[in-house]
Amino acid sequence: MRNRRRTLLRILIVVEALALALAFGRTRAAPDLTVPIGEIFSEATSFAEEHGVFRAYDGDGRLLGWAASGSESGYGGPMLLVAGIDTLGRVAGVKLVEQRETPIFWRMARAPEYFKALVDTPYDEIDYDYGEVIGVTGATISSGAIVASIRESVAQVAGEAFDVNLPLPARPFEFGLLEIAILILLIAGVTAQKVTGPTRQRIRWASQVAGLIVIGFWKDSPITLAKLAALMSGFFPDPRNSLAIYLLIAGFVVTSIAWGRNIYCLYACPFGAAQRCVGLIAGKGLKLPPWSVRLMGHVRNLIVFAAIFMAFLTLQPALSSYEPFAALFSLHGSTLQWLLLFIVLVASLAIREPWCNFFCPMRSVEILLQDIRRVFRKPSQAKSHD
């Protein structure tokens, strides 16, 4: 009973600290859009807003043009940008006001050049083919968000200033091989709960290897701290193009709470699979003394807590991700992430699941969910986890 109360206290402290951080992050004032609009129309001295569309006037009260903001969810949350259209109906400028993408994306993205190239283009002739213009392969969500935000703001101005209805393109649900594969893996995980022994092991191996190939090397889209923290900050990516992450996180959360162990980690996580494959090469691993595992678990929990705390405080979830997944699956990473990847993979030759035990943020989240489950279940039903 006392144990239960302690768990509850721990949960409350963690959740409340995070909620405070998030609340603080969220209280920051919305950016003043007249600043970027003033940069677009450098002669503007006054602005008037109607239906979300700003008019910019110069000192003599002459109308210089219109501007509106557009906001679309990228990888780490919504970005906010402003597009200005001059009185001739040509783009006067585009300014990025807020963004939450990874530094590596901006390093490769050609966004500044794209914005420059748009200037003086008639508002109805803008080239929205982002693959060409922004040019970061494999970052379609981030690139797409830039383009969609511009489209949104231009459409607003067109409607308000020129009475032209620029239809936003219909965005269909993207339900591809990745989503099908994830569904199959989750179903395999659920099915495996119904069987025991070698059959379950066989299902697990098959689905993990499939996850390694599809979610890992092919699509490089495992759950990351960035994606999870973005969701928890209330930045919901458009489900039409990010269905995969919803499926994975739903599978993770639901089974963690329902069963205590979750099917994502066991049946879908590509990094866990990579670790197991490496472990298989070496054969039987060492078993670490339980106290050391527990100690390292606490250290990991602290790291993860700090990372999420910072993600909430700064509202920059993408910066909190320390996982070396991309280094393994698409060779993107900082030298530190390479080092972490090396240490984890070499360690997994000797010990079981070093990433999950010592580093993985999802394990910490899983433990939190397990704690919640234990607290809210009748004591007699609650099974203790190790």
Partner 1 sequence: MQIFNSGFFWFAEGILFCVMVLGMRAVARDRSIPLTWWKWLAFGVWVLLAGFTVAFVGTSVGEGEPTAAVRGGLMFGFVAIVAAVVLWRVWMIGAPSRTTEKVAES
Partner 2 sequence: MSDSDGGNGLDRREFLKISGVASAVVGGTGLGLFGYAAGKDPQTYLGWQNEEGASEIVDHGKYEVDKPTYEKVGPTSRPDARVENIFSRRGRFMRQYRRMQTGAEMEDEVLAAYYEDHPEDLELDRLMMEEIYPKLRADMEKYGEQYLLAVAWSDAMFAVGPDRVDGPPDVADFPRPDRMGRVPEKARMKDPARTSELIKKVAHECGSTLVGIARLNPDWVYKHPLQGRGFENPDDELAIPEHWEFAVVVGTPMSWDPMYANPNYGTSSDAYARSRVIATRVAAFIKALGYPARTHIPGNSYDLMVPPIAIDAGMGEQGRHGVMITPELGCNIRPAVITTSLPMQTDKPIDFGVQDFCRYCKVCAENCPSGAIPFGDKEEVRGYRRYKIDTSKCVNFWNSNLGSMGCRICIAVCPYTRKANWLHKLALKLSANDPTGVSERALTGMHKALYEGPDPQDYYIPSLGGKNASYRKPPWWLRTEDFIDLG
Rg (CA), the chain: 24
Q: Which does 349 bind (CB under 5 to 8 A by kind): partner 2, partner 1, none?
A: partner 1
Q: Which does 217 bind (CB under 5 to 8 A by kind): partner 1, partner 2, none?
A: none
Task: Name the DSSP class of 286.
Answer: B
Q: Which of 330, 354, 75, 327 is nearest to 225 (CA)?
A: 75
Q: Which does 107 bind (CB under 5 to 8 A by kind): partner 1, partner 2, none?
A: partner 2
Q: Are 51 and 157 in contact (CB under 8 A)?
A: no
Q: Are 122 and 85 in contact (CB under 8 A)?
A: no
Q: Are 227 and 245 in contact (CB under 8 A)?
A: yes
Choice between 145 and 328, CB closer to partner 2: 328
Alpha helices, DSSP H, located in the chain? 2-27, 34-40, 103-108, 111-118, 130-133, 140-161, 177-192, 197-211, 225-232, 243-259, 263, 270-282, 290-314, 325-330, 335-350, 354, 361-376
Choice between 20 and 336, CB closer to partner 1: 336
The SS3 call for residue 66 is strand
Contact mark string toward partner 2, 100..129, x via CB under 8 A = ------xxx-x-xx---x--x---------
Determine the Cα–Cα distance for residues 249 and 264; give it in Å rounded to an integer.
8
Q: Which does 346 bind (CB under 5 to 8 A by kind): partner 2, partner 1, none?
A: partner 1
Choice between 39 and 120, CB closer to partner 2: 120
Which listed range, 132-140, 258-266, 305-313, 340-348, lies at the site for partner 2 (CB under 8 A)? 132-140
Task: Name the DSSP class of 172.
Answer: -
Q: Binding residue for partner 1 (CB under 8 A) from 258, 282, 302, 306? A: 282
Determine the Cα–Cα distance for residues 105 and 109; give it in Å rounded to an integer.
6
Q: Are 375 and 10 in contact (CB under 8 A)?
A: no
CB of 138 to partner 1, least distance (A): 19
Determine the Cα–Cα distance for residues 258 and 341; give it in Å rounded to an integer.
32
Q: Binding residue for partner 2 (CB under 8 A) from 333, 348, 358, 373? A: 333
CB atoms under 10 Å from CB of 32, counted, come to 10
Choice between 104 and 367, CB closer to partner 1: 104
Q: Which does 106 bind (CB under 5 to 8 A by kind): partner 2, partner 1, none?
A: partner 2
Largest CA distance in the chain: 82
CB of 265 to partner 2, least distance (A): 27
The reply on whether position 283 binds partner 1 by CB under 8 A is yes
Choice between 12 and 280, CB closer to partner 1: 280
The SS3 call for residue 222 is coil
Determine the Cα–Cα distance for residues 361 and 322; give it in Å rounded to an integer.
9
Structure tokens at 106: 């901006």
- Scan residues 329-348 and list those touching partner 1 (CB under 8 A): 335, 338-339, 341-342, 345-346
Q: Binding residue for partner 1 (CB under 8 A) from 96, 349, 367, 372? A: 349
Structure tokens at 228: 């999870």
The reply on whether position 327 binds partner 2 by CB under 8 A is yes
CB of 343 to partner 1, least distance (A): 9
CB of 36 to partner 1, least distance (A): 36
Determine the Cα–Cα distance for residues 67 and 154; give it in Å rounded to an integer.
8
What's at 191, amino acid-wise? T
Choice between 133 and 328, CB closer to partner 1: 328
Q: Determine the size of the site formed for partner 1 (CB under 8 A).
A: 12
CB of 345 to partner 1, least distance (A): 5
Contact mark string toward partner 1, 115..154, x via CB under 8 A = ----------------------------------------
CB of 35 to partner 2, least distance (A): 18
Where do contacts with partner 1 occur on this chain (CB under 8 A)? 278, 281-283, 335, 338-339, 341-342, 345-346, 349
Where do contacts with partner 2 occur on this chain (CB under 8 A)? 106-108, 110, 112-113, 117, 120, 132, 135, 137, 327, 330-333, 338
